[in-house]
Amino acid sequence: MKKILVFTAIASSLLFAKSEMQTCKKCHPLIVEEFQNSMHKKSSFYDDEIHRAVWNKHPSKEKGDYSCAKCHAPHGTSEEEIQQGISCSTCHTIQNIEHHAQSDSNIYSKESKTFFSAEQGRESQKVTYKQESSFFGLNKTTVGSPYHDIDYTNEKFYTGQVCMGCHSHRQNSQGFTLCKTEESGAKHRENNCITCHMPKIKGSATTIRKTQKHAFHGFAGARHNPKMLAEHVGLDFEKTKNGFSIAVENKAPHDLLTHPLRTVELRVNLIRGGKTVPLKTNSFAKTIGYDNKPSMPWLANSVVSDTMIKADEKKIVAYDTALHSGDTLEVQLGYYIVSPEVLKDLNLDTQDELKKFTILKQRYFTIE
């Protein structure tokens, strides 16, 4: 008897997992299409090769304790649930967030068919579906969704707090903080995680109630659609006594890149008389380690070095190359997803895709 119960529980959650996105797709096709290509959908060790590479070396793997699931695959511990990664209902049922030292936790609402969302002008509404007929029944207008109810009253969907249960911070078992995202990015309605990473772009949010725009669900980030974030980074040039300087401005309310695997680089090429000469490259990274030597994150107890460009920081980098009239400078700010010196340690050195340098922003300056 017990066996049968367990079996049906798994079978029905499987059914739900497979069908959830298919169901949403009927009425939210654009959003689902964007989402399928995002790192939230691909967050488990099945779909994210970098996450898998770190997990394969992690001491918890031998114990079969996929502790990463809390954020990387919150639906449960079965194979199908892990494969699902983060889903539509993961975010849209986050009611509250609990603060803890190790990492924060999402409190999910028990009402699986009521979704929280945000829309300007509807902040006080809870919408249950109804069809309203006008006096003679000639015009029918529909309100809400025929599939689910919507609760627009959750403040966390307006400030970006909804993102913080997973993104705020994470400590390893030594109590050492591996990564963090400052609270200040999830406080203001005009400028927060959602306004930058889910900008409103063309296309209707639903097929039923047409809108001009919808919130981008591909979640622009380091791995997908970085160019959508380029406007939040500034690159400027100034002539100095001995040469010139380049200012890099991070307008994000968090480290330019938050994950300790990344390395940011500023590259400058001098184009003179038809020839391109690379000048010095500057690297920005945060290296964590054990007793001041770089280590895997679960062993780390200290920050070995930290030159990462901080929240709202403007870094000025000086160059002592004298410039001539007619010179052009090609300035590139970009990054490696996995710092080149770590690729081998993670057995990722065979993957050409990960050796690529991604340019986030590029500018040219011509000397008069």
> Using the rule CB under 6 A, which residue among 17, 20, 159, 286 binds ligand HEC?
20
Nearest to 263 by CA among 230, 295, 286: 286
Distance of CA 298 to the CA centre of its chain: 22
Site for ligand HEC in 112-151 (CB under 6 A): 115, 117-119, 127, 143-148, 150
> Using the rule CB under 6 A, which residue among 30, 97, 193, 248 binds ligand HEC?
193
Least distance to ligand HEC from the beta carbon of 327, Å? Answer: 28
Is the Cβ–Cβ distance between 238 and 303 less than 8 Å? no
Nearer to ligand HEC, 57 or 239 (CB): 57
Site for ligand HEC in 161-180 (CB under 6 A): 162-163, 165-167, 170, 179
Least distance to ligand HEC from the beta carbon of 176, Å? Answer: 14
Instruction: State the burial class of residue 144 (Cβ atoms within 10 Å of its Cβ: 0-12, 13-18, 19+).
Output: middle
Does residue number 76 form part of the binding site for ligand HEC (CB under 6 A)?
Answer: no
Please enumerate in sequence order all residues whose Cβ is within 8 A of that of 356, keeping only pairs 6 or more positions apart, or say none.
336
Nearer to ligand HEC, 52 or 272 (CB): 52
- For CA atoms 113, 120, 163, 222, the dihedral sign is positive
Nearer to ligand HEC, 174 or 240 (CB): 174
| Integer angstrom CA distances of residue 116 from 17, 90, 157 | 19, 11, 7
In angstroms, the CA 136 to CA 119 distance is: 31
Q: Which stretch binds ligand HEC (CB under 6 A): 1-9, 186-194, 277-285, 348-356?
A: 186-194
Does residue number 16 form part of the binding site for ligand HEC (CB under 6 A)?
Answer: no
Site for ligand HEC in 332-351 (CB under 6 A): 335, 337
Q: Which stretch binds ligand HEC (CB under 6 A): 131-139, 206-214, 273-281, 286-294?
A: 206-214
Site for ligand HEC in 244-303 (CB under 6 A): 251-254, 256-259, 261-262
| HSE-CB of 96 using CA atoms within 13 angstroms | 5
Nearer to ligand HEC, 119 or 236 (CB): 119
